[in-house]
Amino acid sequence: MARMPKPIETPVPSRAELIDHLVRTRIAGDVATPRENNLSHYRKLANGDRHYWLGLDLGGRWTDEQDVLAVMAERVGVVDDPAHRAGQDTIDPELTVAGLDRMAARLRKAALDRQSVLLATGHPGGLLDVHRATAAALRAAGCEIVVIPSGLVADEGSVWQFADVAVLERGATLWHTHSPEPMAAILDGLAAAGRPQPDLVVADHGWAGCAAQRGLDAVGYADCNDPALFLGEAEGTLQVAVPLDDHVRDPRFYDPMVAYLLTAAGLLDT
């Protein structure tokens, strides 16, 4: 397998060093997302608000807010006490790194099999470069990075590919979106053009949920106020959901995490 050289400016952290970094930068640990916001999203998901389902079909299986909280405590590390209604909430950095290890295993398989991979983000302000670096490493390893059809539209915007990552654009601005519609437009566009569906989707938000719901192998990132992807992983629809704060103060804070991920996947020389 071809390998991409390790970025000199971003040394690959050990597991312990990465956990310390995640906590210091609030990617995990005591995160900025408040408890009130988390519980509000869990409640809205349980009440059937499809905006919070992120493209997954959760049916009638998650109608109790406390069941959602229990999964989030187990898979993300939020406070498991239902009486904790306001203030600080948490992401367990050990669970973040465990998720990265699971994602790395799937990226390694994609590279070994030279699979086609589609990368997309609904959180370009935080995660665009995370996905871009992943795309570059996978291409260097011999994977096909899927080129999306031109002219796609969704949610009153255009679906573009920027630095090998699919995004939603409106008014010359890359858009933050939870919607599954941009991913649906891509997958439908590929089918309409007689092109195969990707072997793997690496994404977040509704981009990941839509792909997983359509039966594609999908891995992604999700914040502690986006429970749907963790429910999808619990049910086996989504292969991996990595818990993290998906928009910290400086997107460069994610660089050590990406170096760890790609090294664990065998995509960076150490």
Provide the edge-to-edge strand list for the sheet that holds 116-119.
Answer: 144-145, 116-119, 200-204, 218-222, 240-243
In this predicted structure, what is the pLDDT of residue 253? 98
- Amino acid (one-letter) located at 86: A
Q: What angle do CA 128, 129, 133 make, to 5 degrees?
A: 125
Q: What is the pLDDT of residues 102-156, one digit of tens each?
A: 999 999 999 999 999 999 999 999 999 999 999 999 999 999 999 999 999 999 9
Distance CA 31, CA 27 (A): 7
Distance CA 70, CA 78 (A): 9
pTM of the model: 0.95
In this predicted structure, what is the pLDDT of residue 258? 98
User: How many Cβ atoms from other residues are within 10 Å of residue 1's Cβ?
Assistant: 12
In this predicted structure, what is the pLDDT of residue 269? 72
Q: List the one residue out of 54, 48, 51 whose CA is nearest residue 183.
A: 54
In this predicted structure, what is the pLDDT of residue 9? 66
Q: Report residues of the chain scoring pLDDT below 70.
A: 1-9, 270
Q: For residues 139 and 116, is the Cβ–Cβ distance under 8 A? A: no
In this predicted structure, what is the pLDDT of residue 10? 83
Largest CA-CA distance found in the chain, in angstroms, rounded: 53
